Amino acid sequence: MEGGSVHRLPGSRSEAHASPGIDARSDPTPSRVLIADDHALLRSGMRAMLQTQPDLEVVGEAADGREAVELSLELRPDLVLMDLSMPEMDGISATRMIKAELPKTSVLVLTAHANQEMLLDAIRAGAAGYVLKGVGPIELATAVRGTLAGESPVDQELVMRLVRRLAKEAVPSQVSDPSAADRDGHHPGSLTARESEVLQHLARGATNRRIAEALHLSLSTVKRHLERIISKLEVSDRTQAAVKAIELGLIDPAE
């Protein structure tokens, strides 16, 4: 399967399943994964690793960014494993186009080195996080499952750098007071006061456990709040929830 053509994998275990994003994650059928990388050997290796997992299914491969966009629109995968450096169209541009059309499809960046500036650009384009090339099958499957569950395989330092960058770019008049709830206790974006608190911690890069400890909540309650936040903001994961919340002025990035 060399570059230059789009590859739809025949005989998939769930050919009829085409529902993207969060809704698909509660479906008993396997989550659908698209691999986009210009190296055929790497695609083959990742496909072999993921196909051993009963809850994951590789439904297609693309050899460049443009093909990744085309296949995503056709197959509507739950998640795209996206290389950043590809011919025709780079992974950041492809991510931006996919997220514009399929906002609930997650994009997990594949990278050889954790170049923070490039990864920040990828996250700003819509990526949930990243996984290093060369990881083993357990690490790869864990990263994919975590992303599909709304978690983000991205380190806290990177999240904080993203928040600081977004804060500098934000227009002050667009940032609302996160403590100003209406008479029903709701914040802009139909978030409850508690969801806004969770979102503020999320934007700092806090884990579910840290959020639970800070707000004196159970882990299951925090998870339910995060699921509702992701759904209300119409994003695919917690990283993009933080990005959108800052851009909409739903949280104070300076806190």
- 142's enclosing H/E stretch is helix 137-148
What is the C-alpha to C-alpha distance for residues 72 and 14, in angstroms, rounded to an integer? Answer: 16
For 125-154, the pLDDT digits (tens) are 999 888 888 888 899 999 999 888 877 766
- What is the residue type of 241? A
Q: Does residue 11 register a pLDDT over 60? A: no
Mean pLDDT, rounded, for 17-29:
46
Which strands form 106-111's sheet, in the order they lie side by side?
Answer: 7-8, 56-62, 31-36, 79-83, 106-111, 129-132
Q: Which domains does the chain have, with CATH numbers?
A: 7-151 (3.40.50.2300), 157-248 (3.40.50.2300)
Among candidate residues 223, 227, 216, the one with its CA nearest the CA of residue 191? 227
What is the C-alpha to C-alpha distance for residues 5 and 37, in angstroms, rounded to an integer? Answer: 12
Mean pLDDT, rounded, for 66-76:
97
Mean pLDDT, rounded, for 60-72:
96
For 216-238, the pLDDT digits (tens) are 999 999 999 998 998 898 888 88
Mean pLDDT, rounded, for 74-85:
95
Q: How confident is the model at residue 239 (pLDDT cuts 50, 70, 90)?
A: confident
Give the predicted TM-score (pTM) of the model: 0.72
